[in-house]
Structures are given as C-alpha cells and as structure tokens.
A = this chain, B = another copy of it.
Amino acid sequence: MEQMTKKQKAILDYMKAHVSEHSYWPSIRDIQAKFRFASTNAVFGHLQALERKGVLQRIPGAARAYKIVPEAVSDLSETVIRYEGPDDSAIELRSIPFAGSIAAGLPDYTESSGVLASMQAPISEGSRRRAPQSFALRVRGDSMIDANINDGDTVIIEPGTAKHGDIVAALIDGETTLKRLIKQGSKIYLKAENQNYPELFPVSELVIQGIAKSVVRPL
C-alpha cells in the first residue's frame, strides 16, 4: 500500500475521531477549520490522496459521506476464533488486525499483539466488509479480573463517549487494552482492575474505541 503522508494520516485520524465522537462524518469545511487551512481545496486534495491510496472511500457529491477501507490499513496475522452462540450453533470469527483507531463510528478491527484483545469479524473473504455498531471483544489476560472479567470472556463494546468510571477499550501504544477510565480534574488515567497491576496508568493521548457494556460468557 502506498504510504500516507503525515498530514494525510492526521486528517484521517481526525475524521475517525470525529465519527467516533459525533457519530457522523466531518464536512470538508470542518476539517479545514480543524487544520487551519485557508482553502477547502487543501482538504479536498488530501481526501483525494487518501482515496487514491485506498484507505478512504468517498461518495462523490454526497455530504459527510465516507467509508474507510479496513483491509487496506493493515494485513498481518489472523486469528480464528470460534464463538459459541446461544443456539447450538457457532460462528467462526476472524480477527482482523488493524493499527489505527476507529472507523465509521463503528469500531474497527483491532488486534493487539500482547495483552488483550482481538476483534471479531465474520468470516468473509473479499473486500466488502461491514462493521456493526457494537462489537464483541474477546478478553485476553487478567487485567480486569477484579471487575469479574476473566480471560476468555467476551465483552460487548459500543462506541461512544466514555464517562468517568466506565470500562473502556482503549488504544495505547497501538495496543488495545480494557481498563477503567478515571478522570481526576483534567487528568485522565486508566486503571487495571487487578491488584498485581499498577494502580493508575497515566495517559496523555488516548483513543477510546468504545465502552464495555456487558460481559458475555457462553456456558
């Protein structure tokens, strides 16, 4: 894949963050304002570049209408997870690695190298892939064991803005972790609910992929 420039990546990240926060895409003028461009055409050019490089799909003429192309972002290891549903049926889910943050208000496919998470997506070959609004995350590790979230549990994550005390799936150093969000004044911490782990985890920049709404464990 052709490489994004720094500014292009910044714009793409802003767009994703905007969607994540507001649930709709920014307009070209929104981006222009954010980056202090004097002309809308500067943004336009970057969007064209992003589309040419295959990470973004524009819908010509339509306002605030984009898609991101998840598989273009990264394509590394694949993990196949079998999810036993409430039926006697099961879904095989394939994790799709992804380095970025959030797509389309909709989560994107995240896989962490170490601690915790791998995103589940349907088995589907080919290009067209749709993201659900909420998604399931298989928990790896024991960072939230004191919150009664154990290794192997599945957590339902929903996009949205997190409040103090929420358990969030956050992207730290390119790695997705499940931690409790602590806001103290203007400072933000992430807290692992495990006595063996450092109590507070100060973070400067953080991308919250969603809020953990519930835990699911097949019996």
Contacts and interface: CB of A to CB of B under 8 A. Distances in A.
Interface residues of A, number: 69
Nearest to A165: B219
Nearest to A121: B85
A217 interface: yes
A119 interface: yes
A127 interface: yes
A194 B140 CA distance: 26
A39 interface: no
A91 to B, nearest CB: 5
Interface string A61-81: 011111110100000000001
B23 A117 contact: no
Interface string A118-154: 1111111111111111101000000000011010000
A155 B126 CA distance: 30
Contact of A91 (B21, B103, B120, B148): B120
A123 B89 contact: yes
Contacts of A19: 105, 133
A86 B126 contact: yes
Contacts of A120: 83, 85, 91, 136
B156 A214 contact: no
Given A24-B62, A116-B214, 12 more contacts: A20-B133, A23-B66, A85-B121, A85-B129, A89-B123, A89-B124, A90-B122, A91-B120, A93-B132, A117-B213, A214-B217, A215-B219
24 contacts: A19-B105, A23-B66, A23-B103, A24-B66, A27-B63, A62-B64, A63-B63, A63-B64, A64-B65, A83-B122, A83-B130, A86-B127, A86-B134, A91-B121, A91-B132, A93-B132, A148-B217, A155-B219, A213-B219, A214-B217, A214-B218, A215-B216, A215-B217, A216-B216
